[in-house]
Structure 1
Amino acid sequence: MGAVKTKRMPRAVREQQMLDAAVRIFGQRGYMAASMDEIAELAGVSKPLVYLYLNSKEDLFTACIRREASALTEAVRRGVRQGPSADRQLWDGLLAFFTHTARHPDGWSVLHLQARTHGEPFAAEVTAMREEIVAFVTELIAVAARDAHRDPHLPEREVAGLAEALVGAAESLAAWANATPGVTARQAAATLMNFAWAGLGDLMENRPWPVPPVSSADGD
């Protein structure tokens, strides 16, 4: 009787398995401290196989950044529903962002902490992702910003500035929320929505932006 042949795992599936392990190790231990040995062990493969698929530690880290960046931008775009009011669209985008970063803390650590501190080309990969998100948010809040200012001709530069400020605040708040026990994605989104939409003046006057009821479409 001939030997039983086992079905080989497709390359794409095996590669994602390695990336899953790498994101976890890089996110929790940092790029410099992470070793290919522990990544291979967590992925359940040999170290030579990791090198065969992904060439080097640098290439593996770059692949992790690209995958996590793509997943985050897609989550934000997918989370914004067409049709609701401008404030609800902004809320949808923020909630999608914080939900994704909360569900993937190691991926967010790779993007927000690790990739930015180890020079090129890692920082360039994150910059490209950030520029895409800022461009999307600029489009998203253009109408909202003009409505808030009651100015249909609000300069594009001012809209872009608002988007930059919003994205920067979201990045910092996501890092804080992931490091602070008990803070949910919904709470983080509501905090930034109050700051961005209602403004500090309204908050001081106890007039926060009304967070909509929880629905099945919302995250945590």
Structure 2
Amino acid sequence: MGAVKNKRMPRAVREQQMLDAAVRTFGQRGYRSASMDEIADLAGVSKPLVYLYLNSKEDLFTACIRREAAALTTAVRAGVQPGLPADRQLWAGLRAFFTHTAENPDGWAVLHRQARTHGEPFAAEVAAMREELVAFVTQLIVVAAREAHRDPSLAEREVAGLAEALVGAAESLAAWANATPGVSAKQAAATLMNFAWAGLGDLMENRPWTPPQD
């Protein structure tokens, strides 16, 4: 009798292997410099199989963005426990964000550097992820306003602006932390928490900073 053939690897598992290899390659080499040959070799498959599963380099990169964006937003949401005080919720969300970006530097490079700098359709994918994060942070700030016995609709536009600023700061700080030896996810989260919460605390207590009269 002939040797028993190995079972074929399920398509979903094989596809994840390809995405793992692609994220690593795109994250470290950049979208333009990365080659499908290199990705196929790293994944341990033939280049035609990569094209069969994921159609093109553009579609492969888009799939990487979507997977990494979903993983990041899921990690942040999972890190926050509803019912905790507002500062603890924000701290947990920031720590989850920085932990994920530190543990997945190639994925973060794909989202933060590569996707944004190569135009559409990639930039739109990252923008959708960012909108979800901003909406989530907005709700955390609204919770803080309620805890401070302030009108949560007090400054809808102001709250939205604060959420945008906080997410933008987190993105920049994550890139800096990943490039700076010795900076842990906890340290990065604490840096932003100290910067943000002091200002938010004053705002929620009706002590906003007022610009000088020109």
Given the two structures, how large is their TM-score scaled by the length of structure 1? 0.88
Which whole-Å CA distance do the structure 2 matches of 1:68 and 1:187 have between them? Answer: 23
- How do 1:1-220 residues align onto structure 2 when only pairs under 5 Å count? 1-145=1-145, 147=147, 151-152=150-151, 153-199=153-199
Q: State the number of aligned residues.
A: 201
Give the AA of the match of 2:150.
D
- The equivalent of 2:207 in structure 1 is none
| Aligned-pair CA distance for 1:65 | 0.1
RMSD: 1.6
The CA deviation string for residues 41-88 of structure 1, in whole angstroms up to 9 with x for no partner, is 100001010000000000000000000000000000000012210000
Look up the SS of the partner of 2:9 in the other structure: coil
Which whole-Å CA distance do the structure 1 matches of 2:141 and 2:80 have between them? Answer: 12
Give the AA of the match of 1:89.
Q
List gaps (5 residues or longer) in structure 1.
Answer: 203-220
| Aligned-pair CA distance for 1:151 | 2.9
Which whole-Å CA distance do the structure 2 matches of 1:123 and 1:145 have between them? Answer: 32
**Higher mean displacement: 193-202 or 93-102:** 193-202
| Aligned-pair CA distance for 1:147 | 4.9
The CA deviation string for residues 8-58 of structure 1, in whole angstroms up to 9 with x for no partner, is 000000000000000000000000000001100100001010000000000
Which whole-Å CA distance do the structure 1 matches of 2:140 and 2:48 have between them? Answer: 46
| Aligned-pair CA distance for 1:146 | 5.5
| Aligned-pair CA distance for 1:2 | 2.9
Flag as ranges the 4+ runs of structure 1 deviating above 4 A.
145-148
Give the AA of the match of 1:136.
F
Give the AA of the match of 1:83.
G
List gaps (5 residues or longer) in structure 2.
Answer: 203-214
| Aligned-pair CA distance for 1:199 | 3.5
Give the AA of the match of 1:24.
R
Give the AA of the match of 2:49.
L
Contact 1:145 1:159 in 2 (8 A): no
| Aligned-pair CA distance for 1:5 | 1.4
| Aligned-pair CA distance for 1:154 | 2.0
* Percent of residue pairs bearing the same amino acid type: 85
Contact 1:28 1:106 in 2 (8 A): yes
The CA deviation string for residues 169-212 of structure 1, in whole angstroms up to 9 with x for no partner, is 0000000000000000000000000000023999xxxxxxxxxx
Which whole-Å CA distance do the structure 2 matches of 1:147 and 1:3 have between them? Answer: 68
Give the AA of the match of 1:151.
R
Which whole-Å CA distance do the structure 2 matches of 1:200 and 1:138 have between them? Answer: 12
**Higher mean displacement: 139-148 or 170-179:** 139-148
Which whole-Å CA distance do the structure 1 matches of 2:157 and 2:57 have between them? Answer: 40
Give the AA of the match of 1:13.
V
Look up the SS of the partner of 1:182 in the other structure: coil
- The equivalent of 1:214 in structure 2 is none
Which whole-Å CA distance do the structure 2 matches of 1:155 and 1:117 have between them? Answer: 33
Which whole-Å CA distance do the structure 1 matches of 2:147 and 2:172 have between them? Answer: 27
Give the AA of the match of 2:6.
T
